[in-house]
């Protein structure tokens, strides 16, 4: 019998975790990546990785609470079984990382040290200096290298994935990829294909993501028929350093270690920030959210910073919107823990943040949406049935999606330090899922070579067409315009009118894209071509994001539409307040019925490159599995939060007693 | 008034073509770095002689000096392009910067080189912890902060190649594995589990292309963007290799 072969596209944390687990199971892996896998975007992660641990456990924490925080942080939009399973695995994953040599920070006694991240009350986050992502990916990269030296893994670095190969029955039999040096194209036959190609921040122009995070690979899978879910959910990180090529992240750990966010009370106060007395500083997060202080969840922090600058007019600078993030008061030991990220600021801004407060502003940061992937719930414990081939398989048989490229774990907003966990977790569990899938199938060698030749031919044709295109439009200019309109209208605060304008603008840009002209027409290491090809995918996916955002008339997690916010109670008198809270909860329930749904986009052209003018897709909605934790309002900062929570709890309790009871009560309350 | 930066780039269409210089002029922006400059050139690749050219090929990914992709020789010094701020490069009032590919690796195109040799060296020194499997077997070994403080800096090596670019002993005619790989061998030999393959690593360090090839010029440590204490690693490798050879000599 032919040896089983799996193609893994992408060697970030997710792809590497899948690769090493598959190799351990005796499956050969072709690992394809645009950059040497060690240089994948995952290196950028700074803060850490979440899991329940021995210490938090003794403070009352457990896997269920991590699960609850994740579900609540994601505003209930994510299916619960995969998250439950992930949180249950958390401690084991950290142990594994520890064993393979990740230099986690240590307590004096030699245990792993942990810190607290936004959106939770426990110190759940393990970290390695301030370069946790780099340390994790190196450990995984080393394991993959070990398997490579044993012949179980073949790496194809500087190879770009162009699309999957589907047979007549619609089953994936491999992929087509292109050598980014020689521009050679070839087929990689496979029994199964894993897409671990990361996020798509470049659709917004500059973001905290790496240069290759175009989402081009996901776009290509989408065109081939893989569904795309929850596209409109993009996380904007509250604290980034505005730069000319990139918005560099200032990790949440700066706040986790005690960093404080403030603006001068006097607008654009020109004094040296260190000389501004405490009482003339507005620590707006601490004042408005006494319980969480500077560690409010990301969406709240983002909106508050946005608001204090845009609406409040308190931006530190007039033309360059920003607020202060201040670690100058921290003791040296704590500052040292942050060395890695403070160095970034110092290197790229030329200012020492240990002595002067940093200037920061929100930036697009994480792609919650992604390729639609399935799962199978375990009837006994509510988590995943790990032997099932459905876990992480997309709607196209044989294509699996993991890591930031899928949509499974973070719902409407990702909890900080949960995505490194979800990447490694999904990579580890996709391996048995693939084994189960392959168990019942013929090997890839049985696919006719004409299938692959044909697919290579199609991609070659598209390549020729793009490289020869006789036009004057500049792809880089189109990209900048795309980023501008997306950032302005489809990020922190969304209005339907503005989103519609953006959709119109994207259509224009798609037209102009047809007339794009490459300044480089050579057939050797043509980066101009690679970028322009990805631009076609970005335009299509931008439309998926914007259309999803337009249709979703509600506020949920990172998706914030002021026009559809349910106004909070205002009354002073308790009876009125109670009545208003009831009304609020009615509205909340109505909204849940209407919008607690996964957005699922399906491409309706067949194949294509975006270059052929086909860009149609349809959007449908799917129910969300909330079988374990019933949705509840997120009321941070809302007046009357307590009374709303009280009313809602009563309703949940009633609902539990039975639908009949609920109805009778509702009539009675009328 | 806008200010312009002249960017002289040593270009090469492919491994078989000749090198040539090209100069571009790029409008200065506050806070701009060399990768931004290259992006601006890509968007409008016209030389100062007003000839249309092609975007300059370059390697970059993270743009925050953590992936190791963007090493190149800038104004005669090897470093990361993403952390090279124009305002620092031009601090002395000059308005020209010069970009060349690294010289110790085969040029693929323009500023893109092939650093495969470095990754092969990592394979040779078995730069990994050889665990039994990926099942749940509880936590790893207990590690004190002092040990972590020693391991962590070495573990930040991003295989960028600056150290070997600056090293007089690392070139086409020498089998030297270079400071980065040696430092990784030291890292894994210090790890409580990694140590079990210490002899295999020492076999490489004590052999051809190993530590004996280091001429101790200390160029490597001066250019490492991650400030890795390479000379400490090299010194330790030297001592360990001696001990290893003696042990072998005495058949033990
Ligand atoms: C600045 C920053 C800080 C972060 N900090 C944290 C943190 O502290 N904690 C946390 O949990 N999360 C953090 N995150 C999020 C986390 O880093 C990412 O979600 C995660 O690393 C994504 O991993 P991945 O494996 O899915 O994808 P990536 O690491 O992005 O890897 C994608 C891979 O796909 C390949 N690829 C892409 N397209 C193609 C193609 N067309 N052909 C071939 N290969 C392709 C790439 O080469 C790469 O190997 C942070 C993110 C950012 C931006
Ligand atoms: S000290 Fe050794 S490795 Fe470093 S530059 Fe000199 S010869 Fe090369
Ligand atoms: S040791 Fe330093 S210079 Fe050498 S490859 Fe590693 S990070 Fe780069
Ligand atoms: S682009 Fe990653 S180090 Fe410069």
Tens digits of residue pLDDT in B42-81: 999 999 999 999 999 999 999 999 999 999 999 999 999 9
Those of residues 71-100 in B touching chain A at CB distance below 8 A are 82-83, 85, 87-88
Give this prediction's pTM: 0.94
CATH architecture of A238-363: Alpha-Beta Complex (3.90)
Q: How far apart are CA A452 and CA A383, in angstroms?
A: 38
Contact criterion met (CB < 8 Å) for A108 and B145: yes
The mean pLDDT value for A51-64 works out to: 95
**Structure token digits, residue A494:** 């969304």
Residue-range domain boundaries for chain A: 5-237+366-449, 238-363
Q: Using one digit for the tens of pLDDT, what is the confidence trace for B180-198?
A: 999 999 999 999 999 999 9
The answer for residues whose C-beta is within 8 angstroms of residue A561's C-beta and 6 or more apart is: A493, A494, A495, A496, A552, A553, A554, A555
CA B162 to ligand 3 center in whole angstroms: 6
Do B4-113 and B116-249 agree at the fold level? no
Residue B251 near chain A (CB below 8 Å):
no
The mean pLDDT value for A370-399 works out to: 97
Q: Where are the beta strands (DSSP E) in chain B?
A: 4-12, 19-27, 71-74, 77-80, 96-100, 107-109, 112-113
Nearest to A618, CA basis, from A605, A609, A634: A605
Q: How confident is the model at residue B114 (pLDDT cuts 50, 70, 90)?
A: very high
Please name the residue whose Cα sits nearest to atom 2 of ligand 3: B224
Beta bridge partners of A359: A324
Residue A528 is nearest to which of B55, B112, B123, comparing CB atoms?
A: B55
Q: Which 3 state secondary structure label does DSSP give A599? A: strand
Residue with tokens 């989103």: A499
Contact criterion met (CB < 8 Å) for A210 and B61: yes
In chain A, residues with a C-beta closer than 8 Å to the C-beta of B123 are 145, 148-149
Residue B83 is nearest to which of A104, A107, A347, comparing CB atoms?
A: A347
The Cβ-side half-sphere exposure at A307, using a 13 Å CA radius, reads 12
Contact criterion met (CB < 8 Å) for B83 and A348: yes
Contact criterion met (CB < 8 Å) for A245 and B155: no
CATH architecture of B4-113: Roll (3.10)
Q: Using one digit for the tens of pLDDT, what is the confidence trace for A147-162?
A: 999 999 999 999 999 9
In order of A59, A132, A331, B108, B227, the CA distances from A105 in angstroms are 21, 10, 18, 39, 19
Q: What is the pLDDT of residue B31?
A: 86
Residue with tokens 């009354």: A571
In chain B, residues with a C-beta closer than 8 Å to the C-beta of A10 are none
Fold adopted by A5-237+366-449: FAD/NAD(P)-binding domain (3.50.50)
**Structure token digits, residue A324:** 């202060």
Q: What is the pLDDT of residue A442?
A: 58
Nearest to A19, CA basis, from A437, A393, A36, A11: A11
Nearest to A560, CA basis, from A517, A498, A506: A498
Q: Using one digit for the tens of pLDDT, what is the confidence trace for A182-230?
A: 999 999 999 999 999 999 999 999 999 999 999 999 999 999 999 999 9
| Phi, psi for residue B90 in degrees, rounded to 5 | -105, 25
Tell me what ipTM this predicted complex has: 0.97
Residue B69 near chain A (CB below 8 Å):
yes
The CATH code belonging to domain B116-249 is 1.10.1060.10
Contact criterion met (CB < 8 Å) for B31 and A349: yes
In a 10 Å sphere around its CB, with 0-12 CB exposed, 13-18 middle and 19+ buried, how is residue A116 labelled?
A: buried
Q: What is the pLDDT of residue A2?
A: 46
Q: What is the pLDDT of residue A612?
A: 55
Q: What is the pLDDT of residue A343?
A: 84
Average pLDDT, chain A: 92
Residue-range domain boundaries for chain B: 4-113, 116-249
State how far residue A211 is from chain B, nearest Cα, in angstroms: 5
The mean pLDDT value for A530-548 works out to: 96
Residue A139 near chain B (CB below 8 Å):
yes
Phi-psi region of A569 (alpha: psi -120 to 50; beta: other; left: phi over 0): beta
Q: Using one digit for the tens of pLDDT, what is the confidence trace for A288-332?
A: 998 889 988 777 889 899 889 878 899 998 877 899 999 999 999
Determine which of A99, A111, A184, A430 to mutate to test the interface with B (most B C-beta atoms within 10 Å): A99
């Amino acid at each position: 019998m032919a040896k089983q072969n799996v193609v893994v596209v992408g060697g970030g944390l997710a792809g590497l975790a899948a690769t090493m687990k598959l190799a351990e199971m005796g499956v050969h892996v072709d690992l394809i990546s645009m950059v040497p896998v060690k240089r994948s975007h995952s290196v950028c992660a700074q803060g850490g990785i979440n899991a329940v641990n021995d210490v938090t456990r003794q403070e009352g924490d457990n896997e269920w609470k991590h699960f609850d925080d994740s579900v609540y942080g994601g505003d209930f939009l994510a299916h619960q079984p995969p998250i439950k399973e992930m949180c249950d695995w958390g401690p084991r994953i950290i142990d594994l990382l520890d064993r393979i040599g990740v230099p986690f920070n240590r307590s004096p006694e030699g245990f792993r040290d942990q810190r607290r991240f936004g959106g939770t009350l426990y110190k759940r986050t393990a970290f390695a200096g301030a370069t946790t992502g780099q340390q994790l990916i190196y450990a995984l990269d080393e394991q993959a290298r070990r398997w490579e030296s044993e012949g179980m893994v073949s790496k194809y670095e500087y190879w770009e994935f162009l699309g999957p190969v589907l047979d007549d029955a619609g089953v994936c039999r491999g992929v087509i990829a292109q050598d980014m040096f020689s521009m050679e194209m070839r087929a990689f036959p496979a029994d199964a294909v894993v897409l671990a190609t990361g996020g798509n921040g470049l659709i917004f122009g500059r973001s905290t993501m790496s240069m290759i995070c175009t989402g081009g690979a996901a776009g290509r899978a989408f065109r081939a028929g893989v569904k795309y879910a929850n596209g409109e959910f993009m996380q904007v990180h509250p604290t980034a350093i505005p730069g000319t090529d990139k918005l560099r992240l200032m990790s949440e750990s700066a706040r986790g270690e005690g960093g404080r966010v403030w603006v001068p009370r006097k607008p654009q106060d020109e004094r040296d920030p260190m000389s501004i007395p405490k009482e003339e500083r507005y620590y707006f997060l601490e004042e408005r959210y006494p319980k969480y202080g500077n560690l409010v969840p990301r969406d709240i922090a983002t909106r508050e910073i946005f608001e204090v600058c845009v609406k409040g007019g308190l931006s530190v600078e007039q033309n360059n919107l920003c607020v202060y993030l201040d670690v100058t008061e921290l003791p040296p030991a704590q500052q040292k823990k942050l060395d890695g990220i403070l160095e970034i600021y110092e290197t790229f801004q030329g200012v020492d943040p240990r002595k002067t407060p940093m200037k920061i502003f929100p930036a697009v940061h994480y792609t919650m949406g992604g390729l639609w992937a399935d799962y199978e719930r375990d009837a006994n414990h509510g988590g995943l049935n790990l032997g099932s081939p459905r876990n992480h398989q997309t709607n196209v048989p044989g294509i699996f999606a993991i890591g930031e490229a899928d949509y499974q774990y973070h719902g409407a907003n990702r909890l900080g330090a949960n995505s490194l966990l979800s990447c490694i977790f999904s990579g580890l569990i996709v391996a048995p899922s693939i084994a189960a899938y392959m168990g019942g199938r013929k090997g890839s060698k049985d696919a006719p070579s004409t299938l692959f030749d044909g697919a290579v031919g199609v991609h070659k044709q598209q390549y020729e067409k793009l490289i020869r295109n006789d036009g004057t439009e500049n792809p880089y200019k189109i990209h900048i315009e795309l980023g501008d309109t997306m950032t302005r209208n489809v990020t922190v605060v969304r209005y339907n009118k503005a989103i519609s304008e953006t959709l119109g603008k994207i259509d224009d840009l798609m037209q102009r894209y047809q007339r794009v002209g490459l300044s480089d027409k050579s057939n050797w290491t043509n980066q101009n071509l690679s970028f322009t090809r990805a631009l076609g995918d970005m335009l299509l996916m931008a439309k998926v994001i914007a259309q999803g955002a337009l249709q979703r008339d509600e506020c949920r997690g990172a998706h914030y539409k002021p026009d559809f916010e349910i106004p909070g109670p205002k009354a002073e008198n308790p009876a009125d307040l109670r009545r208003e809270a009831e009304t609020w909860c009615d509205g909340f329930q109505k909204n849940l019925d209407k919008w607690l749904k996964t957005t699922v986009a399906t491409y309706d052209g067949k194949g294509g490159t975006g270059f052929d003018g086909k860009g149609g897709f349809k959007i449908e909605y799917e129910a969300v599995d909330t079988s374990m934790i019933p949705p509840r309002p997120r009321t941070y900062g809302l007046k009357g939060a307590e009374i709303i929570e009280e009313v809602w709890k009563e309703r949940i309790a009633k609902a539990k007693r039975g639908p009949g009871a609920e109805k009778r009560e509702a009539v009675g309350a009328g | 008034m806008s200010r312009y930066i002249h960017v002289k780039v040593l270009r090469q269409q492919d491994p078989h073509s000749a090198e040539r210089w090209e100069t571009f002029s790029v409008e200065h922006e506050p806070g701009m770095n060399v990768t931004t400059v290259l992006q601006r050139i890509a968007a409008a690749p016209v030389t100062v002689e007003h000839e249309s050219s092609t975007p300059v090929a370059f390697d970059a990914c993270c743009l925050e000096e953590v992936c190791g992709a963007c090493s190149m020789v800038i104004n005669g010094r090897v470093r990361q392009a993403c952390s090279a701020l124009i305002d620092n490069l031009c601090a002395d009032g000059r308005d020209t910067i010069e970009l060349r590919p690294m010289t110790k690796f085969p040029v693929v195109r323009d500023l893109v080189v092939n650093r495969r040799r470095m990754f092969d060296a990592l394979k040779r020194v078995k730069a990994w912890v050889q665990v039994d499997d990926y099942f749940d077997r509880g936590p790893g070994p207990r590690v004190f902060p002092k040990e972590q403080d020693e391991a962590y800096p070495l573990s930040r090596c991003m295989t960028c190649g600056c150290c070997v670019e600056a090293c007089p002993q690392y070139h086409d005619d020498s089998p030297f594995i270079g400071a980065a790989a040696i430092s990784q061998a030291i890292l894994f030999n210090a790890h409580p589990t990694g140590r079990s393959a210490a002899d295999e690593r020492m076999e490489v360090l004590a052999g051809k292309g190993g530590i004996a090839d280091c001429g101790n010029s200390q160029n490597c440590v001066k250019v490492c963007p991650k400030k890795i204490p390479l000379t400490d690693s090299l010194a330790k490798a030297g001592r360990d290799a001696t001990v290893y050879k003696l042990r072998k000599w005495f058949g033990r």
